[in-house]
């Protein structure tokens, strides 16, 4: 399967959505809306649910299942209020010592006028910073498109998994081709060059595992259950420290570590 085929599979309309995971992996879902700062963003879906009888906070991008829902959910492209809502839910999870499970599926944060005016940059950076120090287990599964900072804003987790046909990248292949080659029609080539498949990311050491899609919900449940089992052994401080180390050092293979810094007059 070529990289572009994975991209198209990840974007497939009928691909399982956050609402499907909610129905099939969790029970007793209680939705929480709003950022409590004056806005609600339907492109982020979240709340409290039971996972195998245990309360967890579940958050994910929502694209919607039909045209009307697509529009309400802005095709899964959140504005700042979406990330602020997610942060509110995560902070609450920390307070009540609930693990956080996030599902990533977005073409990116919304590049619109209002999003910029109300601080999409600040909302995303705020999530990245706050998530890095959360004292509860955080597990992320990239289920479809994991595109750009809009994906990462829900994905600073102790364990990050991808479905076998999910993609995770700095930008869409179209955007990449347009920026680097000024030619968005070279999308297929870009998809290949970007190394955005689950296998690529696993090889880079950016994700912890790949979830095959046959028997999807059972596999997803199993992955969450076994990750939780490991993470339950750790204290809050240890969870935060482990997550910090993960994101601090994922790229150390590309850097010489331990070299002493020199200083020079300029």
Separation of first and last alpha carbons in the chain: 52
**Helix-helix angle 236-249:120-132, to 10 degrees:** 120
For the bound state, the minimum distance from the C-beta of residue 183 to other proteins, rounded and expressed in Å, comes to 14
Q: Which C-beta is closer to other proteins: that of 96 or that of 204? A: 204
Q: Which C-beta is closer to other proteins: that of 7 or that of 22? A: 7
Q: Which C-beta is closer to other proteins: that of 73 or that of 124? A: 124
Q: Distance between CA atoms of 168 and 205, rounded to whole angstroms?
A: 13
Q: Which C-beta is closer to other proteins: that of 235 or that of 256? A: 256
Contact of 93 with 136, CB cutoff 8 Å = yes
For the bound state, the minimum distance from the C-beta of residue 171 to other proteins, rounded and expressed in Å, comes to 7
For the bound state, the minimum distance from the C-beta of residue 175 to other proteins, rounded and expressed in Å, comes to 8
Structure tokens at 194: 């970007």
Structure tokens at 220: 């997803």
Q: Which residues contact 244 (CB under 8 A, 6 or more apart)?
A: 132, 133
Q: Which C-beta is closer to other proteins: that of 91 or that of 248? A: 248
Which residues sit at the interface with other proteins, rule CB under 8 A?
109-113, 115-122, 124-126, 128-130, 132-133, 148-149, 152-153, 155-156, 168-171, 176, 179-180, 193-196, 200-201, 204, 206, 243-244, 247-248, 250-251, 254-256, 259, 261-266
Contact of 145 with 11, CB cutoff 8 Å = yes
Contact of 66 with 82, CB cutoff 8 Å = no
For the bound state, the minimum distance from the C-beta of residue 136 to other proteins, rounded and expressed in Å, comes to 16
For the bound state, the minimum distance from the C-beta of residue 174 to other proteins, rounded and expressed in Å, comes to 12
């Amino acid at each position: 399967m070529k990289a572009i085929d994975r991209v198209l599979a990840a974007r497939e309309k009928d691909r399982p959505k956050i609402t499907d995971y909610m129905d099939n992996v969790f029970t007793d879902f209680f939705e929480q809306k709003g950022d409590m700062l004056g806005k609600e963003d339907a492109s982020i879906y979240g709340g409290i649910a039971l996972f195998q009888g245990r309360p967890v906070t579940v958050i994910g991008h929502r694209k919607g299942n039909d045209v009307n829902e697509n529009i309400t959910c802005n095709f899964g492209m959140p504005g700042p209020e979406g990330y602020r809502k997610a942060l509110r839910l995560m902070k609450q999870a920390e307070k009540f010592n609930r693990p956080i499970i996030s599902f990533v599926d977005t073409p990116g944060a919304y590049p619109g006028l209002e999003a910029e005016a109300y601080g999409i940059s600040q909302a995303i950076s705020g999530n990245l910073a706050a998530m890095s120090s959360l004292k509860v287990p955080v597990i992320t599964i990239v289920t479809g498109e994991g595109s750009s900072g809009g994906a990462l804003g829900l994905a600073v987790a102790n364990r990050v998994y991808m479905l076998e046909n999910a993609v995770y990248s700095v930008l869409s292949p179209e955007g990449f081709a347009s920026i680097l080659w000024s030619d968005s029609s070279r999308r297929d080539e870009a998809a290949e060059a970007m190394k955005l498949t689950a296998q690529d990311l696993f090889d880079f050491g950016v994700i912890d595992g790949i979830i095959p899609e046959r028997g999807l919900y059972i596999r997803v449940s199993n992955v969450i259950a076994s990750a939780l089992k490991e993470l339950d052994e750790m204290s809050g401080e240890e969870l935060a420290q482990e997550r910090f180390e993960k994101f601090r050092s994922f790229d150390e293979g590309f850097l010489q570590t331990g070299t002493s810094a020199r200083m020079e007059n300029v």
